[in-house]
């Protein structure tokens, strides 16, 4: 194990207690640390207070709030996940994983899911009902901050001089249809110039 790999391994941790789970790690070769906070209750946490502890760093890229069950199924490609949980998938779009034989198999095509998460160089292409975007985000994602700040269907604020807070919906996204689906598609288009 190299010195860099040892540093990576020593910086990762997972803590659980009082209905919360904190998972910290970094995406190798990308200089991107992440902190994943999970709550096992329906109680709404004071996310602005939680975010305030991290957004002051000049290296802060982004944070978002998500319903983990919804986010999981928006990104589930493997048919085994559906089969093992008794969840129907026949109605979902499918495609080849495009691997050579004998690794080729059919997977769920999530490319049109508005709640999909895609890792990009230095950031995640993802949308949440509540998001915080730091200055590095705008450089990495290549979008204009002014375009987002002048959008009238979002609630925009500046909790820190270098961070833009976006609220697109009053609760976590839990579906990809109706008003929530439309908001996710519009937000993805606005932030990442994709559909």
**Would you give per-residue pLDDT tens digits along the chain (195 residues)?**
344 444 444 567 667 766 666 776 676 655 667 676 767 666 567 778 878 888 888 889 999 989 989 999 999 999 999 999 999 999 999 999 999 999 999 999 999 999 999 999 889 999 999 999 999 999 999 877 888 989 999 999 999 999 999 999 999 999 999 999 999 999 999 999 886
* Same domain (yes/no): 39, 56: no
In a domain, 102, yes or no: no
**pLDDT at residue number 50:** 77
* Same domain (yes/no): 59, 1: no
Angle at alpha carbon of residue 104, lines to 100 and 106, rounded to 5°: 150
* Same domain (yes/no): 64, 136: yes
In a domain, 110, yes or no: no
In a domain, 93, yes or no: no
In a domain, 105, yes or no: no
Domain encompassing residue 11: 1-43
In a domain, 107, yes or no: no
* Same domain (yes/no): 58, 139: yes
* Same domain (yes/no): 123, 155: yes
* Same domain (yes/no): 72, 4: no
How many Å apart are CA 58 and CA 90, to the nearest integer?
46
* Same domain (yes/no): 158, 187: yes
In a domain, 68, yes or no: yes
Note the pTM of the prediction, 2 decimals. 0.83
* Same domain (yes/no): 55, 126: yes
Domain count, the chain: 2
In a domain, 151, yes or no: yes
* Same domain (yes/no): 18, 56: no
**pLDDT at residue number 9:** 47
Q: DSSP string covering 100-157, please?
A: PTTT--EEE--TT-TT--EEETTEEE---SEEEEEHHHHHHHT--HHHHHT-TTSEEE
* Same domain (yes/no): 150, 174: yes
* Same domain (yes/no): 39, 127: no
**pLDDT at residue number 79:** 97
Query: 3-class DSSP state for residue 164?
Result: strand
């Amino acid at each position: 194990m190299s010195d860099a790999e040892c540093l990576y391994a020593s910086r990762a941790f997972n803590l659980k207690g009082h209905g919360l789970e904190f998972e910290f790690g970094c995406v190798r070769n990308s200089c991107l640390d992440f902190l994943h906070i999970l709550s096992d209750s329906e109680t709404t946490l004071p996310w602005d207070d939680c975010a305030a502890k991290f957004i002051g760093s000049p290296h802060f890229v982004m944070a978002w709030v998500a319903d983990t069950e919804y986010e999981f199924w928006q990104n589930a490609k493997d048919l085994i996940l559906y089969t093992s949980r008794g969840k129907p998938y026949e109605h979902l779009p499918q495609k080849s994983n495009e691997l050579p034989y004998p690794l080729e198999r059919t997977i769920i095509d999530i490319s049109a899911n508005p709640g999909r998460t895609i890792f990009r160089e230095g950031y995640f292409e993802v949308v949440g009902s509540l998001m915080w975007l730091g200055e590095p985000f705008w450089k990495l994602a290549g979008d204009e901050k002014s375009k987002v700040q002048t959008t009238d269907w979002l609630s925009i604020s500046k909790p820190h001089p270098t961070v833009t807070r976006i609220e697109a919906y009053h609760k976590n996204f839990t579906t990809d249809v109706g008003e929530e689906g439309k908001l996710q598609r519009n937000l993805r288009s606005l932030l990442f110039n994709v559909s």
